[in-house]
């Protein structure tokens, strides 16, 4: 300890997924590491993630599942620390896990053991952790940095910013990392909530509200991206994996396209049904394929849009009308009012521009000793465990180097 300040090799700000990973990896290298967290406990987002069971990785964590101004930035770190490396750590700690969907690994019971595992690793690696500690100021020194914290002055030769994105402020999210980036002359690309449910205009809200609770597989398309996943109608709007994924591509004013028939050849199927079951209505035909209340509502809206009564039998529908109805069901277009925003978004799109960084260890090229890792950077994954894999991999890359 120096005069009036404590002295460390590395200070990591943010005891979330990336910060805890980085801290213990650096600690095992013999570095004296201080981990600073402003919340009362570490890893709050991990505890809330995956519906409380943490979808901690995806075995198919390839670069095509990530977005950002430079989608290749994540390659180096992700190559050197794969989903199987994290899985090995999880298994070494005896944490039971399940593959809920192909490649998507979740804890079997609760996310708690993941946080305990990371804290244990930090303890074994000799990391000092300060919770409920705020950083008021960061000053660059000739070599290294001095931080004014709520627990006094701290000096370090390497400073790692692992403060995450803006989603869910009640879980500790802050714009601190962006502030630090600007202080050091780094560009922060515009941020917006992603992996977030959509809200609806009053017209569509009143139509969908009675259907709240219904889930069905769909294909959702937005700005050239397409996802085959379940959609969930909620009291607030449209959610479920299909909508969360589409939200990452959505900008205010854009329309979403939903194929309620999940990719089946609806036109061929409807033409066939007109021969086989001519006395059925569109709603009756749809009820074989979708939850009944949803089927009847969609049939009603489609018939309204095409200008026929919902009671019309298939036999009484012309080819042109059948085609128009098919389009209403398979290319259902809706303009959301907006999204639920930071309150419920899982991630932040945008963030600190990676252009100024080495992809090898997430170091700022022009500021020796300064690193940014995890979600604070402009690297955003799709839904399915990809965001945690980026947090682990960038944390390890930095921890091996800082």
Query: Among residues 129 and 216, whose Cβ is nearest to ligand FDA?
Result: 129
Cα angle 255, 257, 263; round to 5:
170
CA distance 162 to 37: 10
Token representation of residue 97: 């896990």
* Residue of 144, 374, 393, 399 interacting with ligand FDA (CB under 6 A): 374
CB atoms < 10 A from the CB of 316, how many? 14
CB of 251 to ligand FDA, least distance (A): 21
CA distance 112 to 62: 27
Size of the site for ligand FDA (CB under 6 A): 38
Query: Among residues 163 and 248, whose Cβ is nearest to ligand FDA?
Result: 163
CA distances from 65 to 58, 62, 85, 245 (A): 10, 6, 19, 11
Please give the residues from 36 up to 55 whose contact with ligand FDA meets the rule CB under 6 A: 36-39, 44-45, 48-50, 54-55
Contact stretch for ligand FDA (CB under 6 A) within 122-130, 147-155, 165-173, 299-307? 165-173
Contact stretch for ligand FDA (CB under 6 A) within 72-80, 140-148, 329-337, 373-381? 373-381
By CB under 6 A, tell whether 17 contacts ligand FDA. yes
CA distance 65 to 347: 14
CB of 387 to ligand FDA, least distance (A): 3
Residues 6 or more apart whose Cβ sits within 8 Å of residue 90: 56, 97, 105, 114, 117
Query: Among residues 198 and 204, whose Cβ is nearest to ligand FDA?
Result: 198
Q: 332 burial class (0-12, 13-18, 19+ CB within 10 angstroms)?
A: buried
Query: Among residues 15 and 290, whose Cβ is nearest to ligand FDA?
Result: 15
By CB under 6 A, tell whether 168 contacts ligand FDA. yes
Query: Among residues 221 and 249, whose Cβ is nearest to ligand FDA?
Result: 249
Query: Among residues 19 and 283, whose Cβ is nearest to ligand FDA?
Result: 19
CA distance 280 to 311: 9
* Residue of 157, 163, 216, 382 interacting with ligand FDA (CB under 6 A): 163
Cα angle 361, 365, 367; round to 5:
110
Residues 6 or more apart whose Cβ sits within 8 Å of residue 360: 76, 77, 397, 401
Contact stretch for ligand FDA (CB under 6 A) within 31-39, 80-88, 113-121, 323-331? 31-39
- Residues at the contact surface with ligand FDA, assessed by CB under 6 A: 13-19, 36-39, 44-45, 48-50, 54-55, 134-135, 162-164, 167-168, 172, 174, 176, 346-347, 374-376, 385-388, 391
């Amino acid at each position: 300890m120096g005069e009036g300040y404590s002295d460390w090799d590395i200070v990591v700000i943010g005891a979330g997924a990336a910060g805890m990973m980085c801290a213990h990896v650096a600690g095992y290298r013999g570095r004296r590491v201080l981990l600073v967290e402003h919340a009362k406990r570490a890893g709050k987002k991990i505890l809330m993630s995956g519906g409380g069971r943490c979808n901690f990785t995806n075995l198919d964590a390839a670069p095509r599942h990530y977005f950002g101004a430079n989608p290749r930035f994540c390659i180096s770190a992700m190559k050197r620390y794969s989903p199987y490396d994290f899985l090995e750590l999880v298994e070494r700690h005896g944490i039971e896990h399940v593959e809920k969907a192909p490649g998507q690994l979740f804890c079997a019971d609760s996310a708690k053991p993941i946080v305990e595992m990371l804290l244990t690793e930090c303890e074994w690696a000799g990391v000092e952790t300060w919770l409920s500690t705020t950083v008021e100021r960061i000053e660059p020194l000739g070599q290294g940095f001095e931080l004014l914290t709520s627990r006094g002055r701290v000096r370090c030769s390497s400073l790692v910013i692992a403060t995450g994105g803006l989603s869910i402020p009640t879980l500790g999210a802050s714009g601190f990392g962006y502030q630090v980036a600007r202080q050091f002359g780094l560009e922060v690309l515009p941020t917006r909530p992603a992996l977030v449910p959509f809200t609806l205009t009053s017209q569509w809200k009143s139509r969908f509200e009675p259907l709240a609770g219904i889930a069905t597989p769909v294909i959702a398309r937005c700005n050239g991206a397409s996802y085959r996943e379940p959609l969930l109608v909620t009291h607030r709007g449209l959610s479920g994996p299909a909508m969360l994924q589409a939200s990452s591509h959505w900008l205010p004013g854009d329309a979403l396209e939903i194929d309620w028939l999940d990719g089946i050849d609806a036109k061929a199927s409807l033409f066939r049904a007109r021969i086989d079951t001519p006395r059925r209505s569109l709603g009756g035909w749809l009820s074989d394929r979708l939850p009944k209340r949803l089927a009847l509502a969609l049939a009603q809206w489609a018939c309204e849009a095409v200008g026929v009564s919902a009671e019309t039998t298939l036999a009484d529908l012309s080819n042109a009308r059948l085609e128009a109805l098919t389009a209403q069901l398979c290319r259902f277009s809706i303009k959301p009012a907006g999204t639920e925003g930071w309150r419920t978004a899982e991630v932040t799109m945008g963030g600190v521009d990676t252009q100024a960084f080495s992809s090898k260890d997430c170091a700022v090229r022009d500021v020796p000793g300064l690193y940014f890792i995890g979600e604070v950077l402009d690297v955003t994954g799709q839904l399915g465990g990809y965001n945690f894999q980026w947090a682990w991999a960038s944390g390890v890359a930095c921890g091996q180097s800082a």
